[in-house]
């Protein structure tokens, strides 16, 4: 790594990542000033922001305007939603795809369709967005947390079986940050225990496990098209399945219970809700799908460049992928921070310093199983009717997640914007981290 004692020639042959910095400021004194971290009063590594998300161009404008003018804004009168569903199903290799209002309700409908009822238990990971768990408690079911594999940030598959009870109704793994969970082991447990698997793929559009798209390997896969996700339309979601019986159930549920085979007769298959995606959203999704592959390529190439460069910096470790992962689509770059390689600089100070360099970083998820709102949920009349005092008391003991607790202290995220620029934008992230590390002691004492 770059040191102040280096002569100018050594400067120029130092790591390529830092080459631009050394060229910008060949004079020693000036270099010292410029290389000071922003948090210590130096000039930020980044002089301009990363690209903004979502990416919008005339294709979005044309599709949206056309849908607007057609006046068939509800899918019951148009065909844009159905066209999108067909294209998304083809892309994933799924037999059926159904657009819905958002990822949260995709999960809610999926759990209903596989038979989750009040008083059941659903196995979930604790390191995820809260919606995964909200979908479970909205059914008055008990979320039972596995531990997390701190290496991959995913559900630890070795901790599933000891959390299963005779009330367990479903496994709900999440493919966090575009990185697939260990589907081989999860599906193996599911088969042996005859439990359905609902995949929360809300962060993992087009990610692959052994060449197949995640969301299509379990019984049901759920996607989110919320603005920040890598296929966005503001708010939206999708349920995919290979099973026609489940598709019939989703279709009815998302359309006020109407049986899709009865058409105009308007018979009801079962009770339902209204989760229909609008034609306007589907129009935006079709336009976004046109640029999806190109943006994925850029995100993935930049992520690989970043991970390679970070190997040179001790104390910052990207999340690993399982051997079965054949494609990580990097909705988030997930990393672990080790303060001992940064002179004991606490994670929060490190992240503040990184943000001041212009890098969009934050501290990841908190331990979900410890969220106080869950205690209030379990104290409700409904839960006390459905679960004995003993079962609710034992719940926290069953859900102990020591690896997850450690990960919540160490983890940090970079948002996808960090991957949407040029290779030089990636290099600037590495330069920022390296600069903070070299000045870690001064930052800690400042
Ligand atoms: C975004 C997200 C959801 C919920 O999707 P919405 O469309 O925001 O309702 C569920 N699970 C995970 C892991 C998510 O990231």
Which sequence spans correspond to the domains of the chain? 8-50+291-364+409-445, 58-289
Predicted confidence at residue 19, as pLDDT, reads 39
Instruction: Name the DSSP letter for residue 265.
Output: G
Gap from CA of 224 to ligand 1 centroid (Å): 6
Nearest one of 315, 307, 316, 320 to 152, comparing CA atoms: 320
Predicted confidence at residue 267, as pLDDT, reads 84
Residue 141: strand pairing partners: none
431 Cβ below 6 A of ligand 1:
no
| Whole-number Å distance between alpha carbons of 441 and 446 | 9
- Which atom, in ligand 1's list, is nearest to the CA of 104? 9
Predicted confidence at residue 266, as pLDDT, reads 73
DSSP per-residue letters across 318-355:
EPP--TTEEE---SEEEEEE-GGGGTT--HHHHHHHHH
pLDDT mean over 152-169: 98
Gap from CA of 101 to ligand 1 centroid (Å): 11
Predicted confidence at residue 39, as pLDDT, reads 97
Q: Assign residue 59 a region: left if phi > 0, alpha if psi is -120 to 50, beta otherwise? A: alpha
| Whole-number Å distance between alpha carbons of 369 and 380 | 17
The yes-or-no verdict on residue 9 having pLDDT over 60 is no
Confidence of residue 106 (pLDDT cuts 50, 70, 90): very high
The yes-or-no verdict on residue 213 having pLDDT over 80 is yes
234 Cβ below 6 A of ligand 1:
no
- Which atom, in ligand 1's list, is nearest to the CA of 107? 10
Instruction: Classify domain 58-289 by CATH architecture.
Output: 3-Layer(aba) Sandwich (3.40)
Q: Do domains 8-50+291-364+409-445 and 58-289 have the same CATH topology?
A: no
How confident is the model over 313-334, as pLDDT tens digits?
999 999 999 999 999 999 999 9
Three-state secondary-structure class, residue 67: helix
> Sign (positive/negative) of CA torsion 103, 105, 107, 110?
negative
- CATH class held by domain 8-50+291-364+409-445: alpha beta
179 Cβ below 6 A of ligand 1:
no
Mean pLDDT of the chain: 92
141 CB-side CA count, 13 A = 26
- Which atom, in ligand 1's list, is nearest to the CA of 128? 13
The yes-or-no verdict on residue 23 having pLDDT over 80 is no
pLDDT mean over 219-230: 98
98 Cβ below 6 A of ligand 1:
no
Which amino acid residue places its CA nearest to atom 5 of ligand 1?
103
The yes-or-no verdict on residue 16 having pLDDT over 50 is no
């Amino acid at each position: 790594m770059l040191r102040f004692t280096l002569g100018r020639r050594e400067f120029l042959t130092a790591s390529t990542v830092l080459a631009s910095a050394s060229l910008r400021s060949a004079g020693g004194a000036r270099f010292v000033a410029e290389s000071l971290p922003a948090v210590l009063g130096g000039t930020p590594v980044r002089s301009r922001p990363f690209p903004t998300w979502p990416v919008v161009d005339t294709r979005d404008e044309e599709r949206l305007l056309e849908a607007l003018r057609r006046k068939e804004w509800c899918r019951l009168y148009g065909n844009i939603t159905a066209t999108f569903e067909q294209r998304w199903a083809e892309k994933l290799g799924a037999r059926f795809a159904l657009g819905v209002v958002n990822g949260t309700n995709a999960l809610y409908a999926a759990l209903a369709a596989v038979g989750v009822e009040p008083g059941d238990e659903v196995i979930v990971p604790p390191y995820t967005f809260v919606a995964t768990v909200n979908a479970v408690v909205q059914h008055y079911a008990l979320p039972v947390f596995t531990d997390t594999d701190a290496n991959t940030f995913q559900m630890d598959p070795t901790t599933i079986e000891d959390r299963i009870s005779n009330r367990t109704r479903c496994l709900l793994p999440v493919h966090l940050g575009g990185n697939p969970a260990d589907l081989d082991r999860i599906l193996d447990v599911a088969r042996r225990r005859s439990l359905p698997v609902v995949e929360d793929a809300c962060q993992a559009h087009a990610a692959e496990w052994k060449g197949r798209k995640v969301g299509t390997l379990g019984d049901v896969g759920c996607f989110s098209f919320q603005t920040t996700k890598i296929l966005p339309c503001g708010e939206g979601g999708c349920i995919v399945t290979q099973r026609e019986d489940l598709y019939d159930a989703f279709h009815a549920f998302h359309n006020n219970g109407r049986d899709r085979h009865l058409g105009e007769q308007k018979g009801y298959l079962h009770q339902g809700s209204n989760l229909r995606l609008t034609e306007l959203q589907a129009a935006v999704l079709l336009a976004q799908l046109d640029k999806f592959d190109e943006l994925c390529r850029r995100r993935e190439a930049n992520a690989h460049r970043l991970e390679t460069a970070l190997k040179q910096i001790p104390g910052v470790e990207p999340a690993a992928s399982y051997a079965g992962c054949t494609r990580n689509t990097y909705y988030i770059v997930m990393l672990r921070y080790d303060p001992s390689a940064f002179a004991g600089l606490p994670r929060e100070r490190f992240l503040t310093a990184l943000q001041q360099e212009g890098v969009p970083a934050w501290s990841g998820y908190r331990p979900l199983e410890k969220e106080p709102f869950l205690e209030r949920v379990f104290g409700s009349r409904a839960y006390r009717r459905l679960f004995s005092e003993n079962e609710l008391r034992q719940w926290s003991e069953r859900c102990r997640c020591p690896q997850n607790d450690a990960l919540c202290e160490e983890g940090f995220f970079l948002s996808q914007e960090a991957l949407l620029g040029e290779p030089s934008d990636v290099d600037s992230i590495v330069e920022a981290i390296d600069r903070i590390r070299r000045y870690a002691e001064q930052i800690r004492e400042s």
